[in-house]
Amino acid sequence: MGKTAFIFPGQGSQAVGMAKDAYEAVPAATEVFRQADERLGFALSTLIFEGPDTALKQTSNTQPALLTASIALYEAFKEKMGIHPDYVAGHSLGEYSALVASGVLAFEDAVEIVRTRGEFMEQAIPDGQGGMAAVLGADREALSALCRDITESGQLVELANINCPGQIVVSGTKEGVAAVAERVKEAGGKRAITLEVSGPFHSSLMKEAATKLSGKLGAVTFSRALVPVVANVTAKPVREGSEIRQLLVDQVYSPVLWEDSVTWLLEQGVDTFVEFGPGSVLTGLVKKIDKTVKLYNISSLESFASVTEALEAR
């Protein structure tokens, strides 16, 4: 029998009203939202359910909001169905959801950490000076070489997210990202799409944010993972709390090796991926890496019945 991985999305998947049906119907999910509001000292749940979208898109709001919605759906699923994963993984911010699901972090600690993480990331570089772009169709090594060439000419730009074959996100100075877009064909790319983000995430311009986050994480308890967590930075499994703490610091300014992480999971015999959270970004990426695996989304209570039925029939 194949193995199962639970996966959790990152920034960009958020939507006003996410997980509201779980909040209203499942006590375990209601409790997650209550804990978030209490720990943060403001009504995050109201922002999630009512918006406005502009406020939800602010990094320091998006990060705790998406974590809360993902974990509420996960807890609701867990309450209704006793299926446990063999592995967990999350994309960027989603790694914190994976760490809660695997017992490494208490949810209340995680929601406070990501709120602060978002603030540190917003403060790292003045608004408008950095950016990110999704490059389609480029060769990974050629794109990496192009980024090095542009960086050496004075405008820093680096690989930020290795998402799937043919989709790599670059991050850096506004000028560096623009230069990649202009020269994308040199790396075999078709085009570059500028992303609506508030900063150059997962680039070395985020090192100041990582240093501040390190201080914050030092005061938090990290338990040993109940199931292996595949880390963004290494695309390898990790279980020890102290190692995970350091990887979260590195993750702020290092590329997210999502394609490599999924490839490693496939090599371990994972044939079923369940994504918890709004949207279906990660299942879409996994499908581009391997079309043969089974993919499920838990994005609402409505999705529970079909997913539960399919997983129980395995």
Q: Which residues are catalytic?
A: 92, 202
Compute the residue count for the chain.
314
For residue 279, give the DSSP letter.
S
Task: Decide: 254 and 120 in contact? Cβ < 8 Å.
Answer: no
**Beta partners for residue 135, in sequence order:** 168, 192
CA distance 72 to 70: 5
**Beta partners for residue 192, in sequence order:** 135
Task: Decide: 159 and 187 in contact? Cβ < 8 Å.
Answer: no
How many of the other CB atoms lie within 10 Å of CB of 205? 22
Name the strand (E) or helix (H) holding 275.
strand 270-276
How many of the other CB atoms lie within 10 Å of CB of 259? 22
Place of tokens 């004075």: 154
